[in-house]
Structure 1
Amino acid sequence: MASTRQWISAARPRTLPAAVAPVLVGCGAGYALGGFFWWRALLALIVALALQVGVNYANDYSDGIRGTDDARVGPFRLVGSRAAQPRVVKLAAFGCFGLAAVAGLVLAAVSSWWLVPIGAASVAAAWFYTGGPRPYGYTGLGEVFVFTFFGLVAVLGTTFVQAGTLSVSAWAGAIGIGLLACALLMANNLRDVHTDADVGKRTLAVLLGEPLSRKVFALLIAGAYLAVLVVGIGHPWCLLALLSLPLAVPPVRAVLGGAKGRDLIAVLGATGRLEFVYAVLLTIGLVFDGPGAP
């Protein structure tokens, strides 16, 4: 029977800052539009964290029963290691999705019921990433899911429940966060590129090949900083996010330098920290340029 420490490890706590990042930026964009409610921010955070942990457990379950994790070099997995029964891990994933749904329904009730189908799509996308008979994460579409739901939907949804509207800055911030989330996934898939190819998991890294995937990783991060410049047109304080650039150098250098296998675990951590610091600085800029700013 899996220990509490093993369950926490399988939830992949190092990925949680990436779930917090879009909520921060969404709240900052909402504040810049004149709206902020702390309890809505808390509910949005619960949705984001529950979905992140839920998708981690769902991937643990689905990859485990397919045998994808039998030769894994990445973080601990419950099903692949035989530490927990697949059914229990599946129930844990659904429990997280249920918590996200409850918090999301409250937000929909106080803002717009159009959030309900968007939330349902988010949960379905989280499950079918590696679950179901034809998981799209096995066909090179994982980055599309991450960009859409952990970038656009998470940031813009948070902005909307705070302010009831959206802005160019919110869109640009959402794109920047989405690109960094994609970079995080690309680093993850580069780490597993050979084992994934052996078991038929055709991630984008497998389809593109290592050399091109490494260049795409660098381009994704560069695109996030281009988004900062766009936000900076209307909110000059948001250029503070450029101060996170030094944090981008080590992971980009490692990936372009050919880091493989376990060496990419450090890249994952560095990319997650980069996304979080980027989001904090961007949020500070949006708040400084918010209502009443000179």
Structure 2
Amino acid sequence: MNMKVETNSSFTEPKTKQRKSWHVWWNLLRPHTLTAAFIPVFIGTVYALHIGGIDKINLPLFFMMLLACILIQAATNMFNEYFDYKRGLDHEGSVGIGGAIVREGIQAKTVLYLAYSFFAASMLIGIYICIHSSWWLALIGLLSMAVGYFYTGGPLPIAYTPFGEVTAGLFMGVIIIGLAFFIQTGTIVPEIIILSVPTSILIGAILLSNNIRDLDGDQENGRKTLAILVGRQNAIRVLAGMFIISYIWCVALVFTGMVSAWIFIVFLSIPKAIAATKGFIGKRIPLEMMPAMKATAQTNTIFGFLFALGLLLDYLF
């Protein structure tokens, strides 16, 4: 995404015009990132079963929460597309799924307006959720949307700082899981925060893998990401450490009696975590690191689904 490119001070629409079809718009959503939005909703809802039982689960609220989170994540991806183009970071040779503006000829303002419309839709859904739960959620929702916008927008984007991974993990992990749990139970318990930690770490790992891939280009464009601050080799070690901590955390959850041994089903995702880590070792060309980045996202997806399944099995048996 952030390979070296000559940046012009003027902001003009790209001249490239290519075939537009459904997959262009689908890629604009960056679907591989959307699992980071809906898996936390699953986890928070499944743990709500442990508190209120299946009779207390409000399915309409679950689906509305799910849709709102996906819309906010998709809008955040579009803001990323727009602002990367506006700052001259994206071009036709950029590596990654982004590039609807520079490669497919979609108007930049179209991407921006579509992102705003997704935010508007999520706000309408949020009103429905607040009516059936608490209006305090509106404040949290607005804060989450602000973070989505300022992740790549504004004078000092979060993505340009070392705090991208922490921010993503907090808002897409801890907060979404907590909100999904709250709208079903009407309360927040310490356990839900503790249970959200491993998923939050792996969401942050997706951002770190992206920053490892784009390290050289980010550095040339003045970013100060965590990967840049610690260096490529140490960033890979941090990524491996994030995987390890997530699995150790699950072991601790079992040994403290917070969940049963069903949660060990997450260990089935370990091969993907290993593949992700090894895929970065010795690589410097962004295209060569794409499989490792994909494996990191897949680790989060598989781990998250298995974690939710483990919680469900714990409730049932």
RMSD: 1.9
Give how far 1:61 is off. 0.4
Amino acid at match of 1:55: T
Answer yes or no: is the 8 Å Cα contact 2:279–2:291 preserved in 1.
no
Match of 1:179 among 196, 201, 205: 201
Give how far 1:260 is off. 4.2
Q: Where do 5+ consecutive residues of structure 1 fail to align? A: none
Greater Cα radius of gyration, structure 1 or 2 = 2
Match of 2:105 among 59, 83, 86: 83
Q: Which residue in 2 is equivalent to 1:201?
A: 223
Give how far 1:140 is off. 2.0
1:121 aligns with 2:143: yes
Amino acid at match of 1:252: T
Aligned-residue sequence identity (percent) comes to: 29
User: Could you say what secondary structure the match of 1:33 adopts?
Assistant: helix
The residue correspondences of 1:115-264 to structure 2 (distance < 5 A) are: 115-232=137-254, 233-236=257-260, 237-258=262-283, 260-264=285-289
Amino acid at match of 1:277: I
Give how far 1:172 is off. 2.5
Answer yes or no: is the 8 Å Cα contact 2:219–2:228 preserved in 1.
yes
1:83-106 deviation line (CA, Å, top 9, x unaligned): 122211111111111222222222
Amino acid at match of 1:274: T
Q: Which residue in 2 is equivalent to 1:43?
A: 64
User: Could you say what secondary structure the match of 1:145 adopts?
Assistant: helix
Answer yes or no: is the 8 Å Cα contact 2:263–2:307 preserved in 1.
yes
TM-score, structure 2 length as denominator?
A: 0.86
1:271 aligns with 2:292: no
1:266-293 deviation line (CA, Å, top 9, x unaligned): 1222222221221222112222222xx5
Please give the alpha-carbon distance, in whole angstroms, between the structure 1 residues aligned to 2:142 and 2:156: 19
Give how far 1:218 is off. 0.8
Amino acid at match of 1:108: C
Please give the alpha-carbon distance, in whole angstroms, between the structure 1 residues aligned to 2:301 and 2:41: 11
Give how far 1:230 is off. 3.5
TM-score, structure 1 length as denominator?
A: 0.92
1:144-180 deviation line (CA, Å, top 9, x unaligned): 2201111111111111111222334422331111110
Amino acid at match of 2:51: L
- More deviation, 77-86/119-128: 77-86
- More deviation, 191-200/96-105: 96-105
Q: Where do 5+ consecutive residues of structure 2 fail to align? A: 1-16
1:162-216 deviation line (CA, Å, top 9, x unaligned): 1222334422331111110111111111111111111112222122221111111
Aligned length: 292
Give how far 1:226 is off. 2.5
Greater relative contact order structure (CA < 8 Å, 6+ sep): 1
Give how far 1:51 is off. 1.3
Please give the alpha-carbon distance, in whole angstroms, between the structure 1 residues aligned to 2:32 and 2:240: 21
Q: Cα gap change, 1:41/1:230 in structure 2, threshold over 3 Å: closer, same or farther?
A: farther
Q: Which residue in 2 is equivalent to 1:104?
A: 126
Please give the alpha-carbon distance, in whole angstroms, between the structure 2 residues aligned to 1:68 and 1:207: 20
1:15-70 deviation line (CA, Å, top 9, x unaligned): 12222211111111111212422211111110121111111100000111000113
